[in-house]
């Protein structure tokens, strides 16, 4: 341990982000664009405005809580290589308070989004009536509140402990506490994130149910997190903040996680489809019949090709995962396909004749990107971009693949 501390002083502390004025202006402009896009769409097509909001809300909420999942797993597994990039992941969790605000907005649009909130549609429908003990607004609010407040609690514990080490805290105590809290979070996350996916996405079609739906959404969100992590880490390395701290081996490992969850997303998606196809139950097959007809069939094919085959073959070679430029471009593509996937989940319930993609979808998403970018840059401006007193940092900086 003493040797590690001695070595850490030879690593130049990159500090925090120095100047974010331009970024703040850009992200602020994005927020304005998002607000204009939402209200302009709302004035003409309320349902489309709410679907745009729901897609963007779940997109960035998934990335933020996916970052917290990564932080927890880093502590639990004592993953050495993550010491160089863990602080960047921690910065993504700063978005969780914004996720609470966007969840409240989803609540406001509940009657436009969720047919089970309409008593006249529920009455006389045996399937929805049978789910009314779960699908009711009071329980819907409670589940979301418990999940989000729980995520905030765990984020404060895990990220707060990490930040305290920069101020001279006892890292041994930080590690011991974070490992225990991380284990608790993983158990809580498994239930709470599944509930969020069931409530906010799967219940758009209250007749449909799939026990794999939560895992499917997790696979997509976690791949999106690693894609966003790759983009931010590479930008910070290019701008000098992580130069000499992050090398091609770290980029390689981020690329491997992107590759792994490309496969896992395809596995969960195929498994869900296969089981529903095999059982052939009307309340389940309707979900896929809707997405394989009336203008959605080509979108379904494009989703499978674009979200699985393309990143799979691009990230398969070892050299590609070590190529910063390629990983950066694939990460952007994966984020695009994650939004494409959420569109595929949400829009067919409202537009069975084909997708709606235009200025409303792009504008509202940019608004959420602006909010995400503002809180992340503010976090990294306030704190070191690297946990500089982490005793695992010297080994992480010198980390390499054989």
235-288 pLDDT tens trace: 999 999 998 899 999 999 999 999 999 999 999 999 999 999 999 988 889 999
pLDDT over threshold 80, residue 368? yes
Which DSSP letter does residue 353 get? T
At CA 344, angle to CA 341 and CA 349, rounded to 5? 150
Which DSSP letter does residue 114 get? -
Coil/strand/helix, residue 294: coil
User: Quick one: pLDDT at residue 10?
Assistant: 63
Q: How far apart are alpha carbons 180 and 58 in whole angstroms?
A: 28
Look up tokens 């607004």; give the residue: 137
How sure is the predictor about 143, in pLDDT bands with cuts at 50, 70 and 90?
very high
User: Quick one: pLDDT at residue 8?
Assistant: 40
Nearest to 303 by CA among 342, 275, 277, 268: 342
Mean pLDDT of the region 54-80:
96
Report the sign of the C-alpha dihedral through residues 398, 158, 342, 193, in that order.
positive
User: Quick one: pLDDT at residue 400?
Assistant: 76
User: Quick one: pLDDT at residue 77?
Assistant: 93
Mean pLDDT of the region 173-196:
94
Nearest to 235 by CA among 71, 380, 68, 398: 380
User: Quick one: pLDDT at residue 171?
Assistant: 76
Asked whether residue 35 is domain-assigned, the answer is no
Asked whether residue 28 is domain-assigned, the answer is no
Mean pLDDT of the region 227-234:
98
Q: Which two tokens stand for residue 198?
A: 């069931």
Q: How far apart are alpha carbons 275 and 268 in whole angstroms?
A: 11
Percent of the chain with pLDDT over 90: 81
Query: 360 or 11, which is more confident?
Result: 360
Q: Mean pLDDT: which of 28-42, 154-168, 387-401 is highest?
A: 28-42
User: Quick one: pLDDT at residue 4?
Assistant: 39
At CA 45, angle to CA 39 and CA 51, rounded to 5? 80
Nearest to 178 by CA among 308, 77, 306: 77
Asked whether residue 27 is domain-assigned, the answer is no
Q: How far apart are alpha carbons 42 and 123 in whole angstroms?
A: 29
How sure is the predictor about 314, in pLDDT bands with cuts at 50, 70 and 90?
very high
Q: Which two tokens stand for residue 90?
A: 């921690």
Asked whether residue 26 is domain-assigned, the answer is no
Q: How many folded domains does the chain comprise?
A: 1
Asked whether residue 110 is domain-assigned, the answer is yes
Q: How far apart are alpha carbons 349 and 253 in whole angstroms?
A: 38
pLDDT over threshold 50, residue 3? no
User: Quick one: pLDDT at residue 174?
Assistant: 84
Mean pLDDT of the region 343-372:
96
Q: Which two tokens stand for residue 10?
A: 């030879």
Q: Which two tokens stand for residue 127?
A: 């399937």
pLDDT over threshold 90, residue 11? no
3-state helix, strand, coil in the chain (%, to 5): 80, 0, 20
Look at 84-93, 117-126, 159-168, 189-198 and tell me which has the smallest mean pLDDT.
Answer: 159-168
Mean pLDDT of the region 350-371:
95
Mean pLDDT of the region 179-203:
97
Asked whether residue 37 is domain-assigned, the answer is no
Q: How far apart are alpha carbons 130 and 44 in whole angstroms?
A: 35
Asked whether residue 340 is domain-assigned, the answer is yes
Asked whether residue 265 is domain-assigned, the answer is yes
Q: How far apart are alpha carbons 319 and 326 in whole angstroms?
A: 10
> Which domain does 251 fall in, by range?
2-13+44-397
Q: Which two tokens stand for residue 289?
A: 């019949």
Average pLDDT of the chain is 93
pLDDT over threshold 80, residue 114? yes
The whole-model pTM stands at 0.94
User: Quick one: pLDDT at residue 402?
Assistant: 57
Distances from the Cα of 350 to the Cα of 37, 40, 48, 58, 59, angstroms: 19, 19, 8, 17, 19
Q: Which two tokens stand for residue 321?
A: 């995962």
Mean pLDDT of the region 385-396:
88
Contacts 24+ apart (CB under 8 A), 292-296: 294/352, 294/353, 294/354, 295/353, 295/354, 295/355, 296/344, 296/348, 296/352, 296/354, 296/355
pLDDT over threshold 50, residue 1? no
pLDDT over threshold 80, residue 173? yes
């Amino acid at each position: 341990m003493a040797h590690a501390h001695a070595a850490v002083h030879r690593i130049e502390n990159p500090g925090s982000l120095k100047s974010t004025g331009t970024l703040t202006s850009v992200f602020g402009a994005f927020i304005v664009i998002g607000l204009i896009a939402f209200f302009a769409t709302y004035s003409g097509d309320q349902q489309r405005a709410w679907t745009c909001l729901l897609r963007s809300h779940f997109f960035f909420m998934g990335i933020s809580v996916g970052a917290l999942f990564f932080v927890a797993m880093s502590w639990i597994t004592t993953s050495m290589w993550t010491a160089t990039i863990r602080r960047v992941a921690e910065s993504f969790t700063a978005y969780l308070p914004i996720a609470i605000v966007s969840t409240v907005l989803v609540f406001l649009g509940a009657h436009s989004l969720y047919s089970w909130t309409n008593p006249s549609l529920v009455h006389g429908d045996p399937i929805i009536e049978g789910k009314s003990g779960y699908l009711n607004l009071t329980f819907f609010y409670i589940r979301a509140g418990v999940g989000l407040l729980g995520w905030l609690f765990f984020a404060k514990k895990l990220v707060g402990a990490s930040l305290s080490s920069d101020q001279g805290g006892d890292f041994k105590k930080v590690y011991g506490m974070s490992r225990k809290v991380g284990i608790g979070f993983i158990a809580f996350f498994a239930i709470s994130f599944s509930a969020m996916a069931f409530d906010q996405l799967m219940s758009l079609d209250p007749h449909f149910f799939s026990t794999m739906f939560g895992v499917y959404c997790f696979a997509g969100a976690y791949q999106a997190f690693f894609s966003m992590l790759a983009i931010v880490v590479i930008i910070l390395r290019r701008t000098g903040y992580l130069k000499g701290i992050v090398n091609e081996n770290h980029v390689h490992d981020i690329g491997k996680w992107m590759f792994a969850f490309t496969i896992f997303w395809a596995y969960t998606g195929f498994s869900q489809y296969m089981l529903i196809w095999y059982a052939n139950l009307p309340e389940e097959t309707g979900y896929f019949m809707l997405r394989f007809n009336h203008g959605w069939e080509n979108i379904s094919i494009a989703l499978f090709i674009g979200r699985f085959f393309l990143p799979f073959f691009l990230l398969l070679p070892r050299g590609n995962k070590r190529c910063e430029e390629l990983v950066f471009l694939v990460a952007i593509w994966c984020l695009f396909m994650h939004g494409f996937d959420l569109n595929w989940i949400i829009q067919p319930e409202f537009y069975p004749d084909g997708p709606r993609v235009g200025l409303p979808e792009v504008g509202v998403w940019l608004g959420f990107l602006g909010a995400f970018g503002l809180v992340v840059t503010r976090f990294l401006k306030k704190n070191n971009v690297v946990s500089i007193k982490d005793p695992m940092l010297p080994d992480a900086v010198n980390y390499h693949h054989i």
